[in-house]
């Protein structure tokens, strides 16, 4: 995806001056100098363009993007052209998210990347009041299969998912927690800490 932006910003350049001040030391007034940073601001505007790619969007309507993000990264350099036998003996889900819906999820990510790139591109020591107007074009998308193992279950009316990245083995998900068990674990932790403290005290004694 090509991002073409028109930006405006206030560019800051630092300069330093020497300042004299007085302080009290050992009951006496002494004079000291210190280096003080000042910033000069000036307006600047310009154009920026850059290609952005490599953002994965969940093609499953049942797997929200926020949860799919927790399984990243995937090693895309290992991709191969699809062959039917790759899925032999496995259950797999067909995509249910349309291309337009996927692109709507991509644009905020690519806008964030473009803003970050402009921030690095800007001259000076610092900047502020950055305004960016971006147009996206040359949009390309590919449908790929990635190995994800997904377990969904309900507990007390709430849906929980456990996910495994089939490339890296990275696990993600949430599990139900019991307030009583959490409280018991906290109490047990305090008791263990007290026993350890007592042991250290007796040992040092």
Please classify residue 138 by burial: count the beta carbons closer than 10 Å to its beta carbon, then call 0-12 exposed, 13-18 middle and 19+ buried: exposed
Phi (first) and psi of residue 75, to 5 degrees: -90, 90
Phi-psi region of 157 (alpha: psi -120 to 50; beta: other; left: phi over 0): left
Confidence (pLDDT) at 4: 96
Rounded to whole angstroms, how far apart are CA atoms 138 and 107? Answer: 13
2-25 and 126-137: which strand pairing? antiparallel
* In the block, residue with structure tokens 């996206």: 136
- Residue pair 147/166 in contact (Cβ under 8 Å)? The answer is yes
- Residue pair 2/117 in contact (Cβ under 8 Å)? The answer is no
Q: Cβ neighbours of residue 115 under 8 Å, at least 6 residues apart?
A: 130, 132
pTM of the model: 0.70
- Residue pair 172/71 in contact (Cβ under 8 Å)? The answer is yes
Confidence (pLDDT) at 175: 79
User: Pick from 200, 49, 53, 24: which is nearest to 135 by CA?
Assistant: 49
Confidence (pLDDT) at 205: 46
Confidence (pLDDT) at 133: 96
Confidence (pLDDT) at 153: 83
Give the residues of the chain that fall short of pLDDT 50: 205
Confidence (pLDDT) at 54: 85
- pLDDT tens digits, one per residue of 119-171: 999 999 999 999 999 999 998 888 888 888 888 888 888 888 888 998 889 99
Confidence (pLDDT) at 195: 62
């Amino acid at each position: 995806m090509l991002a073409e932006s028109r930006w405006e910003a206030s560019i800051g350049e630092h300069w330093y001056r020497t300042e004299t001040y007085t302080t009290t030391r050992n009951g006496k007034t002494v004079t000291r100098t210190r280096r003080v940073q000042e910033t000069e601001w000036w307006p600047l505007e310009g154009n920026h363009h850059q290609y952005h790619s490599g953002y994965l969007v969940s093609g499953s309507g049942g797997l929200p993007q926020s949860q799919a993000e927790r399984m990243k990264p995937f090693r895309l350099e290992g991709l191969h052209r699809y062959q039917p036998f790759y899925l032999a003996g496995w259950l797999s889900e067909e995509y249910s998210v349309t291309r337009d819906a996927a692109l709507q999820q991509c644009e905020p990510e690519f806008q964030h990347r473009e803003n970050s790139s402009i921030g690095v591109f800007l001259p000076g020591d610092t900047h502020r009041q950055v305004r960016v107007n971006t147009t996206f074009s040359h949009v390309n998308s590919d449908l790929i299969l990635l190995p994800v193992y997904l377990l969904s279950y309900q507990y007390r009316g709430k849906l929980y998912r456990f996910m495994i990245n089939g490339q890296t083995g990275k696990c993600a998900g949430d599990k139900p927690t019991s307030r009583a068990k959490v409280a018991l674990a906290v109490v047990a932790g305090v008791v263990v800490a007290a026993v350890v403290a007592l042991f250290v005290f007796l040992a040092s004694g």
